[in-house]
């Protein structure tokens, strides 16, 4: 059989620069990005620092967003994202993405945006119920633009490695893309989310998912001492008081993290059996988990120290230049499809169906 699609698959993803990356990001999405980057079949990979999106809920802290933009790229470089293979860029440096967002705004209803479960819980969490900025409600529309601006007709669906919480964004993005194509002609490609087996990593408190705002996450840049402190603070089984007591594995954060990170899952299985029977203390397990996480994080922390701010910024500026050229090319097709290319006569395409309703 001949290989029908010699074009590289396109990958686009990103993060809001509002704080350092943590282990939840690592298992949820960063590991998949590294796997895609290091495949033998090359992929066309873009990773975006979503500063414009970060401003939708941090518009009062532009300095924080600016500072975190650099930190985010240092995190990417530290885990092994390679600027030779992956284009890293800044969202705001591609104004065409705002333009595409504006066109997309017409293709989705306010009530559809209000039904997005991720946005709904963010509104709750941030206490935005009373005064919801329009920009925040609409960030999934700009995310649809971020994704679809990178598609190529011959490369199939755009792959988007993200955490589970981003799946509603991909759904809305695909609805917008299908509507666009029906109205203006086939121009945009749909997206496929790439999820990891650990869709959701809990925080060390065992109560919520790992998150910066809840201060319950282990950061990729945490030093050995901080890592040890956090592992030893982890929520385990409050009923497991004496070493010989039988302990609970379910809801126990040590096992939750071992499931996600320990390379030797047979050992983890043996620990679980022993713990449930009784006779295995938390301290032994915490020491083991510390060594597992330290093996992962120590080289990342070390690499991070070697990245100079100036180099990180140069990588971003060069990446932004390349990404912008790519988007500018795409936008020519978008504008032509929408009858906005005034250098050409208006297309009288009988295939257009302007009566398509939302
Ligand atoms: N919403 C993502 C986050 O919260 C960031 C993001 C913006 C993104 N645009 C994207 C992710 C496009 C994937 C694709 O971190």
Q: Which atom of ligand 1 is nearest to the CA of 53?
A: 7
Cα gap 22→343, rounded to integer Å: 49
Q: Which of 16, 138, 213 to mutate to test the pocket of ligand 1 (most atoms within 8 A of CB)?
A: 16
Cα gap 106→184, rounded to integer Å: 13
Distances (CA, A) of 295 to 70, 235, 288, 291: 25, 22, 11, 6
Residue 97 near residue 149, CB atoms below 8 Å? yes
Q: Which of 79, 179, 97 is closest to 142 using CA atoms?
A: 97
| pLDDT tens, per residue, the chain with 358 residues | 445 556 899 999 999 999 999 999 999 999 999 999 999 898 999 999 999 999 999 999 999 999 999 999 999 999 999 999 999 999 999 999 999 999 999 999 999 999 999 999 999 999 999 999 999 999 999 999 999 999 999 999 999 999 889 999 999 999 999 999 999 999 999 999 999 888 789 999 999 999 888 889 999 999 999 999 999 999 999 999 999 999 999 999 999 999 999 999 999 999 999 999 999 999 999 999 999 999 999 999 999 999 999 999 999 999 999 999 999 999 999 999 999 999 999 877 655 555 445 5
Q: How far is the CA of 15 from the centre of ligand 1 (A)?
A: 5
Cα gap 336→229, rounded to integer Å: 58
Q: What is the pTM of this model?
A: 0.92
Cα gap 113→141, rounded to integer Å: 9
Q: Which of 225, 221, 218 is closest to 204 using CA atoms?
A: 218
Q: How far is the CA of 144 from the centre of ligand 1 (A)?
A: 9
Q: How far is the CA of 57 from the centre of ligand 1 (A)?
A: 13
- Output 222-227 pairs: Cβ under 8 A, ≥24 positions apart: 222/297, 222/301, 223/301, 224/294, 224/298, 224/301, 227/290, 227/293, 227/294, 227/297
Cα gap 209→335, rounded to integer Å: 41
Cα gap 238→62, rounded to integer Å: 42
> 162 CB less than 6 Å from ligand 1?
yes
How many C-beta atoms surround the C-beta of residue 28 within 10 A? 25
Q: Which of 216, 16, 213 is closest to 127 using CA atoms?
A: 213
Cα gap 171→177, rounded to integer Å: 10
Angle between helix 96-105 and 139-148 (nearest 10): 120
Tokens of 352: 């257009």
């Amino acid at each position: 059989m001949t290989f029908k699609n010699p074009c590289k698959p396109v990958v686009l993803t990103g993060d809001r620069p509002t704080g350092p990356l943590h282990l939840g990001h690592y298992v949820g999405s960063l590991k998949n990005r590294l796997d895609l980057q290091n495949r033998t079949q090359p992929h066309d990979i873009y990773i975006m620092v979503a500063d414009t999106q970060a401003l939708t809920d941090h518009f009062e802290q532009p300095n924080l967003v600016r500072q975190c933009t650099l930190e985010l790229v240092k995190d990417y470089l530290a885990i092994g994202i390679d600027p030779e293979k992956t284009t890293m860029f800044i969202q705001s440096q591609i104004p065409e993405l705002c333009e595409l967002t504006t066109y997309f705004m017409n293709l989705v209803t306010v009530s559809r945006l209000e039904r997005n479960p991720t946005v709904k819980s963010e509104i709750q969490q941030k206490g935005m119920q009373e005064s919801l900025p329009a920009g925040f409600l609409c960030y999934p529309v700009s995310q649809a633009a971020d994704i679809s601006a990178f598609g190529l007709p011959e490369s199939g669906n755009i792959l988007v490695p993200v955490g589970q919480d981003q799946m509603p964004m991909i759904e809305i993005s695909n609805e917008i893309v299908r509507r666009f194509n029906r109205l203006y002609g086939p121009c945009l490609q749909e997206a496929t989310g790439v999820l990891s087996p650990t869709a959701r990593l809990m925080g060390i408190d065992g109560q919520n998912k790992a998150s910066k705002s809840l201060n319950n996450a282990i950061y990729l840049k945490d030093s050995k001492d901080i890592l040890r402190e956090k592992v030893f603070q982890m929520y385990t089984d409050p009923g497991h008081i004496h070493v010989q007591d039988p302990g609970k594995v379910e809801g126990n954060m040590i096992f939750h993290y071992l499931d996600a990170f320990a390379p030797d899952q047979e050992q983890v299985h043996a620990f679980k059996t022993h713990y449930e029977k009784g006779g295995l203390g938390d301290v032994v397990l915490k020491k083991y988990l510390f060594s597992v996480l330290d093996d992962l994080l120590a080289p990342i922390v070390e690499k991070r120290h070697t990245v100079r701010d100036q180099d990180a910024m140069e990588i971003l500026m060069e990446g932004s230049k390349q990404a912008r050229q790519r988007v500018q090319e795409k936008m020519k097709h978008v504008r032509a499809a929408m009858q906005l290319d005034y250098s050409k006569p208006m297309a009288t395409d009988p295939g257009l169906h302007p009566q398509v309703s939302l």
